[in-house]
């Protein structure tokens, strides 16, 4: 009798242990449990920790309450200015109502993914290429609103949507590169022109200052020569008086028959004194006496008497 009683007690304990093992559920800290008893939601949401359910009658579904990172596959579309692009994005969302996420939508992750792809194509068609490249913050906000509006009824809250990359055709990339290069060249030319304008103003001021003191021009010329000579160049360029060039040019002109060569008045005396061996010229002492008697013919002035 006692033995049979002990066997019954042990059997009852084993059945109870099996019952507890079959009905014991553990909900993690980042999860919430939704209990379905005979197909109906009962008892509300089960909080994290140990939970006991009725075996074969209750089913406990765990819902992850963490933020889910969902990559949106690249979508190809045509922008409003008729440019074909491929855009991919990423969606950050989390479940705020576990019961609605299980009851109102079959698979909330798949639903959010499809809604994100559809909204991304719609954003591409409504935007220009410049907006996709430079005004992404506003597009992200618009895309977030388009995804979050239907997701609210599913117990899902969209925290953030980001456009990751915009892929352009190679021809468009080359066109944009040429445009950027042309714009930079335009700015470089404007800067150079502005620099030339400022330099010309400074040079004009320097010319006015040198006009008042002509010696400054000679000093500046000497400074330039010293600067060029310091570079150890084999060739040194020096300025040449224009008047001397004109004189040499006139000297090389052919002389008509029976006419004397043209000699400038200021160089007449120098021309007479330069060729003492030429026939017809008087003796040097005689020429000197003539120069003293008629100084105007030789480009000199007669010395004043004391």
| Model confidence, pTM | 0.57
- Distances 212 to 52, 215, 218 between C-alpha atoms, Å: 108, 9, 13
Report d(CA 305, CA 191) in Å as an integer: 67
C-beta separation of 168 from 112 below 8 A: no
Mean pLDDT of the chain: 78
Report d(CA 285, CA 301) in Å as an integer: 18
pLDDT in tens, 189-217: 999 999 999 999 988 888 888 778 777 77
Burial of 180 (0-12, 13-18, 19+ CB in 10 A): exposed
pLDDT grade for 90, boundaries at 50, 70 and 90:
very high
pLDDT grade for 107, boundaries at 50, 70 and 90:
confident
- Closest to 264 (Cα-Cα) out of 236, 244, 278: 244
pLDDT in tens, 279-294: 444 555 565 556 555 5
Report d(CA 33, CA 64) in Å as an integer: 9
pLDDT in tens, 108-161: 899 999 999 998 888 888 888 888 888 888 888 888 888 888 888 888 999 889
């Amino acid at each position: 009798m006692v033995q049979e009683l002990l066997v019954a007690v042990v059997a009852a304990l084993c059945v109870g242990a099996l019952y507890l093992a079959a009905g014991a559920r553990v909900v993690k800290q980042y999860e919430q449990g939704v209990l379905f008893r005979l197909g109906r939601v009962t008892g509300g949401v089960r909080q994290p920790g140990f939970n006991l359910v009725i075996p074969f009658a209750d089913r406990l579904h765990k819902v992850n309450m963490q933020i889910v990172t969902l990559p949106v596959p690249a979508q190809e579309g045509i922008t409003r200015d008729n440019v074909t692009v491929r855009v991919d994005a990423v969606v950050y969302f989390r479940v705020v109502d576990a019961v609605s996420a299980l009851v109102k939508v079959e698979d909330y992750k798949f639903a959010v993914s499809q809604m994100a792809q559809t909204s991304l194509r719609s954003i591409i068609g409504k935007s220009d290429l410049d907006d996709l490249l430079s005004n992404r913050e506003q597009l992200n906000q618009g895309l977030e609103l388009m995804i979050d509006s239907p997701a609210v009824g599913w117990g899902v809250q969209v925290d953030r949507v980001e456009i990751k990359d915009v892929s352009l055709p190679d021809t468009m990339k080359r066109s944009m590169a040429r445009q950027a290069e042309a714009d930079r060249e335009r700015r470089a030319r404007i800067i150079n022109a502005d620099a030339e304008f400022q330099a010309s103003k400074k040079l004009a001021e320097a010319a006015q200052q040198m006009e008042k003191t002509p010696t400054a021009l000679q000093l500046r010329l000497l400074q330039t020569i010293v600067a060029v000579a310091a570079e150890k160049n084999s060739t040194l360029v020096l300025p040449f008086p224009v008047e001397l060039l004109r004189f040499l040019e006139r000297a090389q002109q052919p002389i008509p028959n029976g006419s004397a060569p043209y000699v400038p008045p200021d160089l007449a005396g120098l021309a007479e004194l330069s060729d003492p061996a030429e026939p017809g010229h008087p003796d040097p002492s005689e020429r000197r006496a003539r120069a003293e008697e008629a100084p105007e013919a030789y480009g000199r002035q007669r010395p004043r008497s004391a």
